[in-house]
Chains A and B, each alone.
Chain A
Amino acid sequence: MKKIVVLLLLLLTGMEAWSQARRITGRVLDENNEGIPGAGISVRGTGTGTVTDIDGNFAVDLPEGSNVVVVQSIGYGTQTITVTGDSVTVRMVPTARELEGAVVTALAIRREKREIGYSATTLNADELNQGNQTSALSAIQGKTAGVNITSSTGGPGGSTRIVLRGEKSISNNNNALIVVDGIPINNQNRLSGVSSLEQLDFGNRGNDINPEDIESITVLKGPAAAALYGELAAFGAVMITTKKGRARTARPSKTEITYQTNYTLHDVLKYPDLQNRYGQGNVHDVEDDRRENFSWGLPFDDQPRPWGQTINGQQRVKPYSAQPDNVKSFFNTGRTWENNVSIGSGGENGAFYLSLNTLNNKGITPNTFFDKYSIRFNGSTQLSNKFYTNLNVNYLHINQRIEASGQAGGSVWNNVLQTPRDIPIHELKDLSNPFNSMDMIDESGVQRYGFYGAYTMNPYWVAERFDNRNRTDRVLGSFTVGFKPGERWDIFNRFGGDVIADRTTQRTPKFNSEPFDPFYAGLPHISNGGYFEGTSNTQTFYNDLIVNYTQQITDDFGVKALAGHNVQLSRVNTSSASIDPEQNGLVIPDFYNFSNAQGPIIATNTLRERRSVGVYGSAIFDYKRTVFLELTGRNDWTSTLRQENRSFFYPSANLSWVFTETLKNTPFREKVLNYGKLRAGVASVGAGGLEYQNNDPGYVSTVAETGFGSVRFPLQYPSGNVSGFTFQNVYGDPNLRPERTRAWEAGLELSFLRERITTEITYYYNKSVDQIITVPLPPSSGYTGRVINLGDISNRGIELQLRVTPVNTATGFRWELFGTYTKNINRVDRLAEGVDRITIGGFSGMAITAAVGEPFGAFYATDLRRDDQGRVIIDSASGLPRLSTDLVYRGNYQPRFIASWGTNLRYKGFTLNVLFDTKQGGVFYSRTKDIMDFVGTAKETENRTPQVWANSVYVAADGQYVQNTDIQYDPYDWFTSTIPAGQHVVDASYVKLREASLYYTIPSNLLQRTPFGSASIGIYGNNLFIWTAKENMYADPEVTSGGAGNEQGFDFSARPSLRNYGVTLRVSF
Chain B
Amino acid sequence: MKQRIISTIAVASLLMASSGCRKYLDVNQNPNIAQNVTPELLLPSAQIQIASAVGVDMQINGSFWAQYWTQSPNASQYRYLEQYATTASNYDRVWGLLYNGALADLRRLEVTAREANRNQYVAVAKLLEAYTFQLLTDGWGDIPVAEAIQGLPGDGGIVSPRYDPQSVVYDSIISIINQGLTIINETRDQHFIGTEDVIYGGDMDLWERFGNTLLLRVYLRLSERDPGKAQTGIQQLYARTGGNMFLDNGEDAQVNYISTAGNQNPLYAEMVALRRTQNLVASATVVDTMLANNDPRVFEFFTIVSGTVRGLQQGNFNSTTAGTLSTPSALVAGQATNAASAEAPVKLLTGYESLFLQAEAAARNWGTGSDEDLFEQGIVASFETYGLTTAEAQTYTDSSYWGVYPAGGSLEEKIRHIITQKWFSMTGNQGFEAWTEWRRTGYPNIFTSSVTSIIGNVFPQRFLYPNTEVTRNANFPGQTLITEKVWWDVKD
Among A638, A696, A704, A717, point to the contact of B49 (Cβ < 8 A).
A704
A778 touches B30 (CB 8 A): no
B42 touches A781 (CB 8 A): no
Interface flag for B245 (CB, 8 Å): no
- Most chain-B CB neighbours within 10 Å: which of A602, A646, A713, A715? A715
Contacts of A13 on B, CB cut-off 8 Å?
3, 7
Against A, the Cβ 8 Å flags (1 = close, 0 = not) of B220-257 are 00000000000000000000000000000000000011
Q: How far is the CA of A333 from the CA of B105 in the complex (A)?
A: 56
B101 touches A704 (CB 8 A): yes
Please tell me which stretch of B151-159, B173-181, B302-310, B442-450 contacts chain A, meaning at least 4 of its Cβ atoms lie within 8 angstroms of it.
B151-159
Against A, the Cβ 8 Å flags (1 = close, 0 = not) of B179-206 are 0000000000000000110100000000
Contacts of A607 on B, CB cut-off 8 Å?
31-32
Interface flag for B321 (CB, 8 Å): no
The minimal Cβ–Cβ distance linking A54 to chain B, given in whole angstroms, is: 23
B160 touches A638 (CB 8 A): no
Contacts of B17 on A, CB cut-off 8 Å?
565, 613-615, 635, 637
Identify the closest chain B residue to A719 (Cβ): B195
B2 touches A485 (CB 8 A): yes
Among A2, A12, A583, A692, point to the contact of B273 (Cβ < 8 A).
A583
Known: A615-B17, A642-B28, A780-B143. A706 touches B264 (CB 8 A): no
Mostly helix, strand, loop or mixed at chain A's interface? mixed
The minimal Cβ–Cβ distance linking B489 to chain A, given in whole angstroms, is: 22
Known: A612-B25, A781-B149. A709 touches B273 (CB 8 A): yes
Among B41, B104, B274, point to the contact of A725 (Cβ < 8 A).
B41
A777 touches B472 (CB 8 A): yes
B262 touches A712 (CB 8 A): yes
Question: Which residues of A817-850 have CB atoms within 8 Å of chain B's CB atoms?
Answer: 834, 844
Contacts of A642 on B, CB cut-off 8 Å?
28
Contacts of A709 on B, CB cut-off 8 Å?
56, 264, 266, 268-273
Question: Which residues of A453-496 have CB atoms within 8 Å of chain B's CB atoms?
Answer: 485-486, 489, 491
Q: How far is the CA of A358 from the CA of B36 in the complex (A)?
A: 51
Among B27, B52, B100, point to the contact of A729 (Cβ < 8 A).
B100
Interface flag for A955 (CB, 8 Å): no
Interface flag for A445 (CB, 8 Å): no
Interface flag for B406 (CB, 8 Å): no
Among B93, B99, B151, B160, point to the contact of A707 (Cβ < 8 A).
B93
Among A9, A614, A643, point to the contact of B22 (Cβ < 8 A).
A643
Among A710, A716, A723, point to the contact of B41 (Cβ < 8 A).
A723
B151 touches A731 (CB 8 A): yes
Against B, the Cβ 8 Å flags (1 = close, 0 = not) of A774-788 are 001111111110100
Among B29, B89, B100, B161, point to the contact of A844 (Cβ < 8 A).
B89
Please tell me which stretch of B8-16, B377-385, B393-401, B414-422 contacts chain A, meaning at least 4 of its Cβ atoms lie within 8 angstroms of it.
B8-16
A780 touches B10 (CB 8 A): no
Contacts of A498 on B, CB cut-off 8 Å?
none
A695 touches B29 (CB 8 A): yes
B14 touches A547 (CB 8 A): no
- Most chain-A CB neighbours within 10 Å: which of B42, B99, B262? B262
Known: A637-B17, A708-B273, A724-B48. A611 touches B195 (CB 8 A): no
Against B, the Cβ 8 Å flags (1 = close, 0 = not) of A18-53 are 000000000000000000000000000000000000
Contacts of A722 on B, CB cut-off 8 Å?
44, 195-196, 198
Contacts of A547 on B, CB cut-off 8 Å?
6, 9-10
Contacts of A528 on B, CB cut-off 8 Å?
272
Question: Which residues of A482-531 have CB atoms within 8 Å of chain B's CB atoms?
Answer: 485-486, 489, 491, 522, 526-528
A613 touches B24 (CB 8 A): yes
Against B, the Cβ 8 Å flags (1 = close, 0 = not) of A1025-1044 are 00000000000000000000
Against B, the Cβ 8 Å flags (1 = close, 0 = not) of A631-643 are 0000101111111
B262 touches A583 (CB 8 A): yes
The minimal Cβ–Cβ distance linking A562 to chain B, given in whole angstroms, is: 11
Contacts of B31 on A, CB cut-off 8 Å?
607, 609
Among A527, A718, A728, point to the contact of B258 (Cβ < 8 A).
A718
Interface flag for A582 (CB, 8 Å): yes
Contacts of A486 on B, CB cut-off 8 Å?
2
Question: Which residues of B91-120 have CB atoms within 8 Å of chain A's CB atoms?
Answer: 93, 95-97, 99-101, 103-105, 107-108
Q: How far is the CA of A712 from the CA of B95 in the complex (A)?
A: 19
B93 touches A698 (CB 8 A): no
- Count of A interface residues, CB-CB < 8 Å: 99
A724 touches B44 (CB 8 A): yes
Interface flag for B293 (CB, 8 Å): no
Among B14, B26, B35, point to the contact of A615 (Cβ < 8 A).
B14
Interface flag for B392 (CB, 8 Å): no
Contacts of A15 on B, CB cut-off 8 Å?
3
Question: Which residues of A780-819 have CB atoms within 8 Å of chain B's CB atoms?
Answer: 780-784, 786
Q: How far is the CA of A585 from the CA of B275 in the complex (A)?
A: 12
Question: Which residues of B444-473 have CB atoms within 8 Å of chain A's CB atoms?
Answer: 466, 468-469, 471-473
Identify the closest chain A residue to B20 (Cβ): A613
Among A2, A781, A844, point to the contact of B160 (Cβ < 8 A).
A781
A704 touches B52 (CB 8 A): yes
Identify the closest chain A residue to B261 (Cβ): A599
Interface flag for A5 (CB, 8 Å): yes
Q: How far is the CA of A705 from the CA of B29 in the complex (A)?
A: 27
A782 touches B151 (CB 8 A): yes
Contacts of B22 on A, CB cut-off 8 Å?
643
Interface flag for A691 (CB, 8 Å): yes
Known: A565-B17, A614-B17, A782-B150. A699 touches B33 (CB 8 A): yes
Identify the closest chain A residue to B479 (Cβ): A885
Known: A716-B263, A780-B469. A698 touches B101 (CB 8 A): no
Contacts of B472 on A, CB cut-off 8 Å?
776-778
Contacts of A778 on B, CB cut-off 8 Å?
159-161, 468-469, 472-473, 476
Interface flag for A70 (CB, 8 Å): no
B24 touches A585 (CB 8 A): no
Contacts of A698 on B, CB cut-off 8 Å?
30, 33-35
Interface flag for B474 (CB, 8 Å): yes
Interface flag for B300 (CB, 8 Å): no
The minimal Cβ–Cβ distance linking B120 to chain A, given in whole angstroms, is: 17
Interface flag for B144 (CB, 8 Å): yes
Interface flag for B276 (CB, 8 Å): yes
Interface flag for B45 (CB, 8 Å): yes
Identify the closest chain B residue to A726 (Cβ): B45
Identify the closest chain A residue to B324 (Cβ): A522
Q: How far is the CA of A722 from the CA of B255 in the complex (A)?
A: 13
A563 touches B10 (CB 8 A): yes
Interface flag for B260 (CB, 8 Å): yes
Identify the closest chain A residue to B107 (Cβ): A782
The minimal Cβ–Cβ distance linking A509 to chain B, given in whole angstroms, is: 14
Question: Which residues of A633-667 have CB atoms within 8 Å of chain B's CB atoms?
Answer: 635, 637-643, 646
Q: How far is the CA of A781 from the CA of B143 in the complex (A)?
A: 11
B468 touches A784 (CB 8 A): yes
B148 touches A782 (CB 8 A): yes
- Most chain-B CB neighbours within 10 Å: which of A599, A607, A610? A599
Interface flag for B37 (CB, 8 Å): yes
B27 touches A639 (CB 8 A): yes
A780 touches B101 (CB 8 A): no
Q: How far is the CA of A584 from the CA of B227 in the complex (A)?
A: 51
Q: How far is the CA of A698 from the CA of B256 in the complex (A)?
A: 28
A-B CB contact pairs (8 Å), 5 listed: A527-B275, A613-B17, A731-B151, A780-B99, A782-B99
Q: Which residues of B are interface residues toward A (Cβ below 8 A)? A: 2-3, 6-7, 9-11, 13-14, 16-17, 21-22, 24-37, 41-42, 44-45, 48-49, 51-52, 56-57, 74, 87, 89, 93, 95-97, 99-101, 103-105, 107-108, 143-144, 148-152, 155, 158-161, 195-196, 198, 256-258, 260-264, 266, 268-276, 320, 466, 468-469, 471-474, 476
Nearest 5 CB-CB pairs, A to B? A599-B261, A709-B269, A698-B33, A781-B151, A724-B45
10 extra A-B contacts, CB within 8 A, seeds A731-B151, A781-B148, A782-B100: A565-B16, A585-B261, A598-B261, A613-B17, A614-B17, A706-B269, A711-B257, A725-B45, A782-B99, A783-B104
